[in-house]
Amino acid sequence: MAIIGGGPGGLYAAALLKRLNPSREITVWERNPPDDTFGFGVVLSDETLGGIEHADPTVYDALRPHFTRWDDITIVHRNTRHTAGGHGFAALGRRRLLQILHTRCRELGVELRFGTEAPYPAWLCETYDLVVAADGVHSATREAYAEVFRPTVQAHRCRYIWLAADFAFDAFRFEIAETEHGVAQLHGYPYAPDASTVIVEMREEVWRAAGLDRADERESVEHCAKLFADALGGRPLRSHNSTWTTFRTVVNERWSHGNLVLLGDAAHTAHFSIGSGTKLAVEDALALAACLEEQPDLARALTAYEAERRPVVASTQRAARASLEWFENIGFHLDQPSRQFAFNLLTRSRRVTHDNLRLRDPRFTDAVEREFGCPPGTPPMFTPFRLRGLTLRNRVVVSPMDMYSATDGVPGDVHLVHLGARALGGAGLVMTEMVCVSPEGRITPGCAGLWNSRQAEAWRRTVRFVHERAPGTAIGVQLGHSGRKGSTRVMWEGIDEPLDADNWPLTAASPIPYKPGSQTPRALSRAQLTDIRLQFTAAAGRAARSGFDLLELHCAHGYLLSGFLSPLTNRRTDRYGGPLDHRLRFPLEVFDAVRAVWPEERPMTVRISATDWADGGTTAEDAVEIARAFAAHGADAIDVSTGQVVADEHPEYGRSYQTPFADRIRHQVGVPTVAVGAISSWDDVNSLILAGRTDLCALGRPHLYDPHWTLHAAAEQGYEGPGVAWPSPYLAGRRRPTTGRTDAPKPRLTLS
C-alpha cells in the first residue's frame, strides 16, 4: 500500500492499516522533513477521540497526556466580553500529533520516506495494490486524475494567516477588531499549557487596504500582534513560514478510481472556523480501514468508504460554509447588542442551536433572552411581532403551499380545511397559496384565484373561520401571476410539465420558455402591462373585502413579476429591461398600485428570490437592492426565498440554507424579513429569531406533516403563555400522550 502525504490523515491511515494486518507492506511519502509542518495546534472532538481510542488504544494513550482541554468560548465585541461554557474542546500541538503518529508507524513497521516526492500516481497505481492520496488541499494526485474525480475548488473572500502565541488562552477566543480599513477577527485557542493557536482573518479588500498584500512575514506578524494587543496582553506572536492565504473549499464528485482513493483535504475541505480539517482526515482514515476489513474486495471497500463518509462530510461542509460566510459578512452584525452578537456567532454554523446552548450554559442563554425581550419562560419564537397595524402573537408563519384543488379558481373545502387546521394549530400567521389575479395567470387548472366575486366570497368563508375559530391567528393572502410558468399540470402529475390539452397562452417579460418543451410566452406590451397592473389592484380590493389581514406580492420563483427582476428572464430593451433599476420598474408599479388600494393599517410584504442559483442571474447583492427598493415604496417586510427562476439552477441545499439571504437583507436594508427554506424544528426557529437573523420564520413541509406544529412546539417546551392559544376543544391535548407502560417496577438487583 502506498500513501501519498504524511499529514495526520495519511499517517493514521498507515498505522491503522498496518495494525489490522501486519503483513501489509505500507510506504508513506512526505515531501517535507518530519518536523516541518504548517499550523500550530489542532482540535479534535470527543467523538473523534473515541474512535481513535477504540481503533488503536496505543495512539490514544500517547496522545492523552498532551491534550489541553477547555469548556469556554469567549467573544469580545466592542470591548465587551461574553463567555459561554459547556462546549468541551481538546487540542494538542500539530507537531506533537505528528511525532506520535511517526513513532506509532515506525513501531508497526510502516516505511516513512520524508523529504521525498512520491512517484507519479500512475506508476504507484500499477505497482501497489492500494494508493491513498492524502496529499492535501493542493493535491497533485487529484489534479492528475481531475477528469475522473471532477473536483470543484472554490476560493473565498477572506485572507487568513496562521500564527501562535507563547501563552495559553483561558478559552476558545473570538475577538473583533474594527479598523480604519475594515473588520478583522481573531480565532484563538490553547493547544499546550504555554501556547495558543492564533488565526487572524479579514476580507480581501481589508487586507489590501491595510497594506498587508505588500508586507513580509515579520511585518504581518507585528501588524496582527498590534491589532489584537488587548487579547494578547501586549505579547508578541510568532510564525513558522506563515503566509496570508485564501481558504479553498474542495468538493469531488468521486473519491476513488480503480485502486486509488482520496482522503482528507485531497477529497474535501471544511473551513477552520469549525475546527474540522484534521478531524475529518482522521475519521476518513478510520472509515477506510474499517471498510477494507469488512468488505470482500477492494472495489466494494472503496465504494463503502465513500458511501459512509460522503454524507458526513457534506453535512460538515454545509456547517463550515455557513460559518465561513458568517465571518465573511461579520460586518453586517456588528451593530447588534453585544450579547446577541455573541449568541449569533456561537450559532452561526447551525450546529450549535438555542436549545443546545441552553443545555450547555443556561445562564448565558437566559441573559441573551432577557436582552432580546423574552418574558420569563418564553421561548423567542413565542414573542410578538408587529407589522404596521397587525401584531402577530408569535413568530411562526405557515408558508404558502399550493393545493392545486380549486375549481375555476374557486377555493373549496380543501382550502378551508388546510388553512383552518393550521390556524387552529397555533401559528401567528397563516398564508394562502399563490392566489392568481387572472385565469391566464394560473400555474395549473387547479390554482385558486381572486379575479371574480365568487372566488372572493369563497375566500371570505375561510377568513371568517380563521378569525372566529382561531382568534389571535392572522391570515394573509399571496397575490401572483404565473407568467411563463403557467399552463402546466398539477404538481403530482408532473411539476412544471405543460398540459396535454386545453393550454392557455402565456405572457412574460421576454419570450423565453421556462425549459425545453415548455410553451414560449409572448413578451408583454405596454397595454398588457397596464391590464395586469389593474388585475392585481382588482384582486387586492377583493382580498381586502374578504377580510385578509396581510397581503404579500409574489415576486419570486420565476413567476411573472420575478421574471421582470432576473436578468436571465428579462431581455427587454424598453424602459422595463436592462439594468436592475429598470427591471424593478414594473414590479414596483404593481406594488404601488396594490398598496394604494390595500387598507393603510394592514401590512404588505413582498416575496423575492434572493438568488437564481445560476450564473448571470440575480445575486445576493442584487437582492439587497431589490429589497431596498420595495422597502422604500412601503413594503413592511421582505419574505426571502431563493431560486426556481430558471430550470438550470444549482441550489446549495441544507438546513436553513436560505436564511443567510434574509439575514443579509435584514441588516443591510433595515427591513423586517421572513426566513424560509428547510427550517424544520422549533429549535431552529428559536435560534434564528434570537440571533437576529430574521424576524419571522415560514415553514411549509413541517406544517404538512403536523398541522398543529406550533401548538406541539409550545407543549414540548413547556410553554403556556399568550404567544400561543389552544382552541377550547383541544385543551385536553396540551400534554403529550404517554406511550407504553410507565408503572413497571424499577430493577434493584442484578443477580448472576
Active site residues: 559
- Residues 251 and 317: their CA atoms lie apart, in Å, by 9
Q: Where are the beta strands (DSSP E) in 437-516?
A: 474-480, 507-508
- Residues 244 and 240: their CA atoms lie apart, in Å, by 12
**C-alpha cell of residue 411:** 377555493
- Residues 606 and 551: their CA atoms lie apart, in Å, by 8
- Residues 47 and 316: their CA atoms lie apart, in Å, by 14
Residue 270, C-beta contacts closer than 8 angstroms, at least 6 positions apart? 249, 276, 277, 280, 313, 316, 317, 319, 320
Q: ∠ at Cα 97 (91, 103), nearest 5°?
A: 155
Q: What are phi and psi of 276, to 5 degrees?
A: -115, -15
Element at 94 (helix H, strand E) = helix 94-108
* Residue 76 CB coordination number (10 Å): 20
- Residues 584 and 566: their CA atoms lie apart, in Å, by 9
Q: What are phi and psi of 522, to 5 degrees?
A: -90, 140
Element at 299 (helix H, strand E) = helix 298-328
Q: Where are the beta strands (DSSP E) in 447-542?
A: 474-480, 507-508, 522-523
Asked whether 251 and 151 are in contact (CB, 8 A), the reply is yes
DSSP string, 314-361: HHHHHHHHHHHHHHHTGGGGTTS-HHHHHHHHHTTTSSS-HHHHHHH-
In Å, the largest CA–CA distance within the chain is 90
Q: What SS3 state is found at 274?
A: helix
Which DSSP symbol is given to 520? P
- Residues 556 and 642: their CA atoms lie apart, in Å, by 7
Asked whether 478 and 504 are in contact (CB, 8 A), the reply is no
Q: What SS3 state is found at 367?
A: helix
